[in-house]
């Protein structure tokens, strides 16, 4: 899903939200988990590149808050 200023990537279990307008490009995400975060590829997030827990742990380390996540099972359906 794409909306102005952010994109969402999911593996069916967890969804990563990337706010491009907040991102400070610290490189923490792709240097620590390159199988998931690769700025040379499009899309740059491959949710099949690691286990859900590893992805969550990396997203929680984002210093700018540009990356966040939600568990799909906890998201309310419209």
pLDDT by residue (tens digit) across 23-56?
Answer: 999 999 989 999 999 999 999 999 999 999 999 9
Tell me the whole-structure pTM to 2 decimals.
Answer: 0.87
What is the pLDDT averaged over residues 4-27? 93
Determine how many CB atoms are found less than 10 A away from the CB of residue 14. Answer: 19
CATH number for the domain running over 2-74: 3.30.70.20
Report residue 5's pLDDT band, with 50, 70 and 90 as the boundaries. Answer: confident
DSSP 36-72: TB-TTSSSSB-TTSS-HHHHHHHHTT-SSS-EEEEEG
Q: Residue 77 has what DSSP assignment? A: P
Percent of the chain with pLDDT over 70: 91
């Amino acid at each position: 899903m794409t909306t102005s200023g952010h994109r969402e990537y999911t593996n069916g279990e967890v969804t990563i939200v990337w706010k491009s307008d907040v991102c400070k490009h610290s490189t923490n995400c792709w240097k620590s988990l390159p199988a998931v975060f690769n700025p040379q590829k499009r899309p740059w997030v491959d949710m099949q590149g690691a286990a859900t827990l590893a992805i969550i742990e990396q997203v929680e380390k984002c210093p700018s808050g540009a990356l966040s996540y939600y568990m799909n099972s906890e998201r309310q359906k419209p």
